[in-house]
């Protein structure tokens, strides 16, 4: 065991791999070349359509022990991963590692296949039941949770080698050009699928909407696609929108949003050229509303909006408040519609978005970003992975990437959720290290991290309710009482990887 | 205070709790909570305190907590007990 720089005990080896403990957000760069894959040659102009999913699995040469990937742009509406694993099982293939861009609640259907040994590892984070069962020790299946930038990096460096990528292709031609803009399963950008298309040894485009050649505009080109498979449906795009993507009406949330807009205004970045990212949470959207109003009033022309894109950002683009949008994930159908017709609504790959190991990713250009939290602590660390029972229930998303990149990263969360204090002595799991977090805002006040002394002064000058983070914690504890820590066994059931591939925390089996 | 009939108070909403009370020969308190791991000890202490303050010595009290704060626990338990004792 080693202790990393956020004070977490990290094993030396996990699942056969040697671990590098986290040592700071911007210090680690291994001396490696990017990944390679076999050279292909195809002199035929003939159709690459091989039939259905099962035919494609056979054609791809998938064998026991290999690693597959899918993308999660259809989010909770995705059918492909579940259908794929069923077919893999039917072909008698076992010991498969899943390296999807994310796994959602809908993929709880995979649990029996994990128990059966069809799936024996996850090189990606998960949302929902699978993580809970792994935390309880009921599923023996190693898991490495990665951020969006971290996943893209792990593929580009070859740390994760995908044998076959099965990429949902909502608008696809017979020679393998595709995009996600149109068709019955349109999901908009295909940003998370681009590293897979670039580095997987074999790439299968799976479509429910085969269109005459060529499928334009091209998001992923024929030169990266080995086979095309056809299925009845890729899923239901109506389920892209989660229940959390609605503007809050809760007075507490609105108060937090008001404070967040005060902070953004006080940073001094809210002027021509402003760049901004929010999540999809109700508070985030309320902050976006305030930002929009301030931009309108002061006739500010922003540079770009970034991240998962919602209809709210589309409206801001179309109103001329931003020069453009960079989109790695369309969060609602309005965003899906926009990316197909707005030239300044730009698809971006996960590497361009947030991979730290290239010549500069998009998050580096962000001024302010609003991020949520499951819990925070007095060292400004943020947990979004494990919930109150200690179970691994959420994937990291772009959280730690955006926090590291943005000039001011702003965490918004209520001070108390169902008696649980949201500012604690120590978070259960460190997803995002405090040294990359600028400000934590609750309805009880604003805590500014020490690396932003000027912002703190400016907020005090503006009579904003600035509080020391310890004071904030004490105030919350005086209402909730001091919580006991959830108890864990020594057994490590998963890793929380930082975006650069070092390990920032572990997930341990929850004591029954 | 004597528990004479079944009664309940509260809701199952987040940050609230339901309290169910019924007559029994001895005092029995059962607590289930979404935050039992972190706050089970404090919830239990608060319920005991209210029960003792009202002089209840027999009855079956079942608490289903959704992360309520102490003042809510006190109010819900008190109300349920009063409803169960009223003629």
Q: Where do the structural domains in chain B lie, given as residue ranges? A: 7-85
| Cβ B47 vs Cβ B31: under 8 Å | yes
Averaged pLDDT for residues A316-343: 97
CA-nearest residue to B17 within chain A is A418
pTM: 0.95
* pLDDT for the residue numbered A512: 85
Nearest Cβ partner for B67 among A390, A419, A479: A419
For residues A228 and A207, what is the distance between their CA atoms, to the nearest angstrom? 7
Q: Is the peptide bond before A217 cis (omega within 30 degrees of 0)?
A: yes
* Mutate: best of A253, A391, A415, A418, partner B, most B CBs <10 A: A418
* pLDDT for the residue numbered A243: 60
CATH topology of domain B7-85: Ribosomal Protein S5; domain 2 (3.30.230)
Q: Assess A487–B contact: CB distance below 8 Å, yes or no.
A: yes
* pLDDT for the residue numbered A35: 97
Categorize the per-residue pLDDT at A244 as very low, low, confident or very high, splitting at 50, 70 and 90. Answer: low
| Cβ A242 vs Cβ A395: under 8 Å | no
Q: How far is CA A111 from CA A98, A129, A203, A307, A358, in A?
A: 13, 8, 25, 30, 36
Categorize the per-residue pLDDT at A249 as very low, low, confident or very high, splitting at 50, 70 and 90. Answer: confident
Mean pLDDT, chain A, integer? 96
Structural element, H or E, at residue A121: strand A119-122
Residues of chain B under the 70 pLDDT cut: 87
B38 and A486 within 8 Å at the Cβ level: the answer is: yes
CA-nearest residue to B65 within chain A is A418
Domains of chain A by range and CATH? 73-239 (3.40.1080.10), 251-484 (3.40.1080.10)
Averaged pLDDT for residues A24-44: 96
Q: Shortest CA distance to A124 belongs to which of A398, A503, A495? A: A495
Measured in degrees and rounded to the nearest 5, phi and psi for residue B8 equal -145, 165
Cα angle A147, A498, A437; round to 5: 90
For residues A289 and A85, what is the distance between their CA atoms, to the nearest angstrom? 42
Q: Assess A481–B contact: CB distance below 8 Å, yes or no.
A: yes
A481 and B37 within 8 Å at the Cβ level: the answer is: no
* pLDDT for the residue numbered A245: 61
Phi-psi region of A360 (alpha: psi -120 to 50; beta: other; left: phi over 0): left
Nearest Cβ partner for A418 among B40, B66, B70: B66
Averaged pLDDT for residues A183-192: 98
Averaged pLDDT for residues A5-13: 97
A/B interface, count of CB pairs below 8 Å: 43
pLDDT at A274 > cutoff 80: yes
**What residues in B contact A418, CB-CB < 8 Å?**
14-15, 34-35, 66-67
CA-nearest residue to B66 within chain A is A418
Residues near A139 by Cβ (< 8 Å), separated by ≥ 6?
Answer: A111, A114, A115, A130, A133
Could you give the percent of chain A with pLDDT greater than 70?
99
pLDDT at A138 > cutoff 90: yes
Q: Assess A512–B contact: CB distance below 8 Å, yes or no.
A: no
DSSP secondary structure letters along A56-85? HHHHHT--TT-EEE---TTGGGB-HHHHHH
**What residues in A contact B42, CB-CB < 8 Å?**
481
Encode pLDDT of A69-110 as tens digits: 999 999 999 999 999 999 999 999 999 999 999 999 999 999
Q: How far is CA A369 from CA A95, A436, A447, B16, in A?
A: 40, 12, 16, 33
A419 and B41 within 8 Å at the Cβ level: the answer is: no
A388 and B34 within 8 Å at the Cβ level: the answer is: yes
B39 and A486 within 8 Å at the Cβ level: the answer is: no
Strands (E), A196-344: 202-207, 227-230, 275-277, 302-309, 322-330
DSSP category for residue A487: P
| Cβ A405 vs Cβ A361: under 8 Å | yes
Encode pLDDT of A23-32 as tens digits: 999 999 999 9
| Cβ A404 vs Cβ A315: under 8 Å | no
B69 and A487 within 8 Å at the Cβ level: the answer is: no
CA-derived radius of gyration, chain B: 12
CA-nearest residue to B15 within chain A is A418
**What residues in B contact A390, CB-CB < 8 Å?**
37
A225-229, A349-353, A457-461, B35-39, range with the lowest pLDDT: B35-39
Neighbours of A357 (CB within 10 A): 21
Q: Which of residues 405-424 of A touch B (CB under 8 A)?
A: 416-420
**What residues in B contact A391, CB-CB < 8 Å?**
none
**In the numeric block, which tokens belong to residue A155?**
């593929």
For residues A309 and A361, what is the distance between their CA atoms, to the nearest angstrom? 17
How far does chain A reach from its first CA to its final CA, in angstroms? 24
pLDDT at A119 > cutoff 80: yes
ipTM score assigned to the predicted complex: 0.91
Could you give the percent of chain A with pLDDT greater than 90?
96
Averaged pLDDT for residues A282-301: 95
Nearest Cβ partner for A480 among B40, B66, B69: B69
């Amino acid at each position: 065991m080693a202790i990393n720089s956020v004070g977490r005990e990290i094993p030396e080896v996990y699942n056969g791999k040697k671990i590098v403990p986290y040592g700071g957000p911007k210090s680690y760069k291994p001396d490696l070349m990017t990944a390679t894959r076999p050279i292909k040659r195809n002199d035929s102009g003939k159709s690459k359509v091989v039939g259905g999913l099962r035919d494609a699995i056979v054609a791809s040469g998938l064998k026991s022990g290999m690693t597959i990937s899918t993308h999660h742009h259809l989010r909770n509406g995705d059918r492909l991963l579940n259908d794929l694993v069923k077919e893999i099982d039917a072909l008698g293939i076992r010991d498969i590692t899943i390296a999807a861009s994310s796994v959602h609640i809908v993929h709880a259907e995979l649990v029996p296949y994990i128990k059966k040994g069809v799936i024996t590892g996850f090189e990606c984070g998960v949302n929902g039941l699978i993580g809970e069962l792994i935390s309880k020790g009921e599923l023996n299946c190693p898991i490495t949770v990665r951020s969006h930038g971290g996943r893209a990096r792990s593929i580009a460096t070859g740390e994760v080698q995908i044998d076959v990528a099965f990429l949902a292709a909502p608008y696809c031609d017979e020679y393998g050009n595709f995009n996600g803009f149109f068709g019955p399963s349109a999901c908009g950008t295909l940003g998370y699928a681009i590293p897979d298309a670039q580095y997987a040894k074999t790439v299968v485009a799976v479509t429910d909407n085969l269109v005459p050649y060529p499928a334009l505009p091209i998001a992923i080109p024929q030169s990266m696609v080995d086979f095309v498979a056809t299925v009845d449906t890729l899923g239901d795009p109506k389920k892209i929108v989660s229940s959390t993507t609605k503007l809050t009406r809760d007075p507490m949330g609105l108060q937090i949003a008001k404070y967040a807009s005060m902070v953004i205004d006080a940073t001094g970045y809210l002027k021509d050229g402003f760049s901004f990212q929010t999540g999809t949470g109700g508070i985030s959207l309320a902050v976006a509303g305030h930002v929009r109003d301030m931009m309108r009033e002061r006739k500010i022309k922003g540079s770009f909006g970034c991240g998962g894109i919602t209809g709210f950002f589309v409206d801001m683009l179309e109103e001329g408040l931003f020069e453009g949008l960079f989109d790695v994930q369309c969060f609602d159908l309005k965003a899906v519609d926009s990316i197909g017709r707005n030239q300044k609504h730009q698809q971006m790959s996960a590497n361009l978005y947030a991979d730290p190991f290239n010549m500069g990713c998009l998050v580096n250009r962000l001024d302010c970003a609003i991020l949520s939290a499951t819990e925070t602590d007095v060292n400004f660390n943020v947990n979004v992975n494990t919930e109150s029972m200690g179970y691994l229930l959420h994937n990291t998303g772009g959280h730690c990437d955006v926090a590291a990149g943005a000039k001011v990263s702003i965490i918004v969360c209520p001070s108390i959720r169902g008696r649980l204090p949201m500012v604690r002595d120590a978070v259960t799991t460190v997803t995002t290290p405090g040294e990359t977090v600028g400000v934590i805002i609750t309805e009880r006040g604003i805590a500014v991290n020490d690396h932003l002394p000027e912002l703190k002064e400016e907020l005090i000058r503006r009579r904003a309710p600035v509080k020391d983070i310890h004071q904030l914690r004490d105030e919350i504890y005086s209402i909730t009482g001091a919580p006991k820590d959830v108890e864990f066994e020594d057994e490590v059931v998963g890793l929380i990887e930082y975006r650069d591939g070092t390990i920032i925390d572990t997930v341990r089996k929850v004591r029954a | 205070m004597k528990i004479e009939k079944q009664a309940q108070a509260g809701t199952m909403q987040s940050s609230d709790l339901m309290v169910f009370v019924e007559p029994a020969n001895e005092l029995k308190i059962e607590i289930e909570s979404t935050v039992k791991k972190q706050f089970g000890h404090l919830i239990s202490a608060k319920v005991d305190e209210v029960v003792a303050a009202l002089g209840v010595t027999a009855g079956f009290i079942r608490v289903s907590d959704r992360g309520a704060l102490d003042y809510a626990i006190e109010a819900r338990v008190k109300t349920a007990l009063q409803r169960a004792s009223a003629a």
